[in-house]
Amino acid sequence: MTTPLHAVRRIQGALVAAMPVVALAAFIPAQSQPAVHAAEVRAVAYLSTEVPRWRREHSCYSCHNNGDATRALVAASARGYAVGHAIDDTTAWLAMPERWDSNPERGGSEDLPLARIQFASALASMVAVGRATPDALDRAGALLLVHQTDDGSWRLSESQVLGGATFYGTSLATAMARRILARVKDDVVQRPLAKAGAWLRTTNPATVLDASSVLLGLELDVDSAAVAQRQKALDVVTRGRGPDGGWGPYITSQSEPFDTALAVLALVNVRNVSALSAVPYSDRDLDEAIGRARDYLVGAQNQDGSWPETTRPPNGESYAQRISTTAWSLLALLESD
């Protein structure tokens, strides 16, 4: 995305970073469109309740509600969905990155890098639609630089390798951090940005989650190394798609909402890269895969508008992961619409 972050529609094959693709409608079954819209409405209503409720009940801002979920509601609001005043308090707080570290009950120092990435991703989405000023993102970007490792990545843990909805893992954290820094205007980010790009071009995307992250992090880069890595990652994603149209974290895993949402956002990003070889992954193939995944997400949604939390191992219970899974799933539907 998303972050996936949102941008503008594809026009005559030229893309700009993370916007929906109008050509998708030609290949997604027409009967799925009302169902997708209804799913989006339910998800917006659910998150519009949960985002302000967390702040009222806990007196702090959370990575899941005020980071991931707010990013999704900013995207929904920009597309005409009514969110009322649900994110007003959060967006005012996010627009002042210097306040983030004084957030009460934010957890230990080990949580700080991920919190900064999640909050900065939400802020970047706000800047993209005029709800915050670019200089705020410059200040947020500076907070991320101290967590970059010498190899160019953002390594959130030495023991937990596989990422998830509330723990991004190295590949997704690096991809999201790079997307943020790419939107920062301050020249101080140029060298860290290049290091992150080099890491994404050389890491081995062995899991579906890692491959999707690489596809997101490379954005529209079309140099030879980026194109080769994109093809490698896309091959992993293609082989990992389940018979139900969704994805799990590994090629052989059962489908999960979070992993499916991340793969959808990655494929939308690939669909936007006109320099990508059409063989063997044609635009039509990508559109079909995205369409089936959207149907999977609609079918997996809970009645209250949330999505079942994607946990590691699967089938666990976690409010935080339910919120983040719902946010990523909503973003996937919105950006592929």
Residues 6+ apart with CB under 8 A from 186: 138, 141, 142
Q: How does residue 157 score in pLDDT terms, banded at 50, 70 and 90?
A: confident
Neighbours of 30 (CB within 10 A): 8
Question: Given this model, what pLDDT does residue 102 score?
Answer: 86
Q: Please, are residues 264 and 227 in contact by the beta-carbon 8 Å criterion?
A: no
Long-range contacts of 284-292, Cβ-Cβ distance < 8 Å, separation of 24 or more: 284/27, 287/21, 287/23, 287/24, 287/26, 287/27, 287/28, 288/27, 289/238, 289/241, 289/245, 290/24, 290/28, 290/264, 290/336, 291/24, 291/27, 291/28, 291/29, 291/32, 292/241, 292/245
User: Range with the lowest mean pLDDT among 16-20, 175-179, 284-288?
Assistant: 16-20
Please enumerate in sequence order all residues whose Cβ is within 8 A of that of 53, keeping only pairs 6 or more positions apart, or say none.
Answer: none
- Measured CA distances, 321 to 47, 71, 109 (Å): 13, 15, 20
Question: Band of the pLDDT at 20, cuts 50, 70, 90?
Answer: very low
Closest CA to 157 of 173, 143, 142: 173
Rounded to whole angstroms, the Cα distance separating 131 from 89 reads 12
Consecutive H or E run containing 291: helix 283-300
**What percent helix, strand, coil does the chain show, rounded to 5?**
60, 0, 40
Least reliable range by pLDDT among 13-27, 154-168, 248-262 = 13-27
What is the extent of the structural domain holding 318? Answer: 22-335
Q: What is the three-class DSSP state of 84?
A: coil
| 122 pLDDT higher than 60 | yes
Whether 80 is in a domain gets the answer yes
Q: For residue 142, give the CATH number of its domain.
A: 1.50.10.20
Residue 53 lies inside a defined structural domain of this protein = yes
Asked whether residue 238 is assigned to any structural domain, the reply reads yes
Contacts of 300 (CB under 8 A, 6+ apart): 246, 257, 260, 307, 308, 329
> From its phi and psi, is residue 242 left (phi > 0), alpha (psi between -120 and 50) or beta?
beta
Q: What is the pLDDT of residue 276?
A: 63
CB 103 within 8 A of CB 66: no
What Rg value do the Cα atoms of the chain yield, rounded?
18
What mean pLDDT is predicted for residues 105-116? 72
Q: Report the mean per-residue pLDDT for the chain.
A: 88
Q: Do the beta carbons of residue 152 and residue 195 sit within 8 Å?
A: yes
Residue 26 forms part of a structural domain: yes
Question: What does DSSP assign to residue 14?
Answer: B
Residue 274: pLDDT over 70: no
Whether 17 is in a domain gets the answer: no
Q: Strand, helix or coil at 11?
A: strand
pTM: 0.89
Evaluate whether residue 6 is within a structural domain.
no
User: Token pair of 199, please?
Assistant: 């890491």
Residue 181 forms part of a structural domain: yes
Query: Residue 213: is it exposed, middle or buried by C-beta count within 10 angstroms (0-12/13-18/19+)?
Result: buried
Total domains, the chain? 1
| Alpha-carbon gap, residue 289 to 270, rounded angstroms | 12
In angstroms, how far is CA 177 from the centroid of its own chain?
Answer: 11
Q: What's the rounded mean pLDDT across residues 131-138? A: 97
Asked whether residue 4 is assigned to any structural domain, the reply reads no
Tokens of 163: 């990422």
Query: Is pLDDT at 33 greater than 90 in this prediction?
Result: no
